[in-house]
Amino acid sequence: MRLLLGSFITFLIAAAVGLGATWLTLTRGVAFGSLNIGAWTAWPKSGSVDIDPYARANIARTGELPTGMGDGVAFYASSDDARNSFDGRCTFTISGMTPVARYWTITLYNPEGKLVANSIDRHSFTSDEIVRDSDGGFAITVAPLARPGNWLPTGGADKFVLVLRLYDTPIGVSTGTTKEGPMPAIVRKGCS
């Protein structure tokens, strides 16, 4: 009787711990070998055969195709530099410089990776579209209501993620360096 009860508890713990850990790591997107610059995180190895088992399980679950190393590298942000989570009712500015790349794009998605509905049907900017200041820097305003300049609408979504993709870039190809260049700063300006 005692043996039965004991093994029952053991299997219960095993199932709870094992499946719980799997669920947590896959929904939180755990992957090794991340490259963190400010609020931005990239997993350059996820675009190569050196992809780790967690990232492999995650892309199988979500159905996405990662950006291949040799094509580019994708940086994800879900909060500003001060770790305030992105909220579509708030205003954030993204400003500064990007690392060396032939082209880059910045896109706003919901956490599931879908584009967010908004009044002007704008979901992204490319490096060619952006309006720059005289010294080559730029500022993008991510806000629910229209702004002058480079306005990336949030559509009022609760949560969103920003993905900055650098194409034809040395970033992430040579691993092990910490000086990967400047990434744009993200600052929250206030909430409506």
Partner 1 sequence: MIRALLWILSGLILGGIVHLSTVLAMPQAATQDAYSRLTPLTPVNTMVQLAPPTVDTAIMPFMDPAFAAAVCRYDLTDGSIKLTSPVSQAYTSVTFYTRKSVAYYAINDRAAGRRTIELDLMTPEQHADMPEEEDVTAADRLIIESPGTVGLIVLRALAPEPGLMPMARRTLAAAKCELQPPQ
Which residues would be at the binding site for partner 1 (CB under 8 A)? Answer: 6-7, 9-19, 21-22, 25-26, 46-49, 51, 53-54, 56-57, 59-72, 74, 102-103, 105, 107, 109, 112-117, 123-124, 126-129, 163, 165, 167-168
- Least Cβ distance, residue 4 to partner 1 (angstroms): 11
Q: Which is nearer to partner 1, 63 or 176 (CB)?
A: 63
- Least Cβ distance, residue 58 to partner 1 (angstroms): 8
- Least Cβ distance, residue 165 to partner 1 (angstroms): 6
Q: Which is nearer to partner 1, 17 or 191 (CB)?
A: 17
* Sequence-ordered alpha helix ranges (H) in 29-154: 53-62
Q: Which is nearer to partner 1, 72 or 144 (CB)?
A: 72
Radius of gyration from C-alpha coordinates of the chain: 20
Question: Partners of 139 in the beta sheet?
Answer: 95
In angstroms, the CA 141 to CA 100 distance is 22
In angstroms, the CA 150 to CA 144 distance is 13
Q: Which is nearer to partner 1, 129 or 133 (CB)?
A: 129
Give burial (CB, 10 Å; 0-12/13-18/19+) of 7: exposed
Encoded tokens for 29: 């997107």
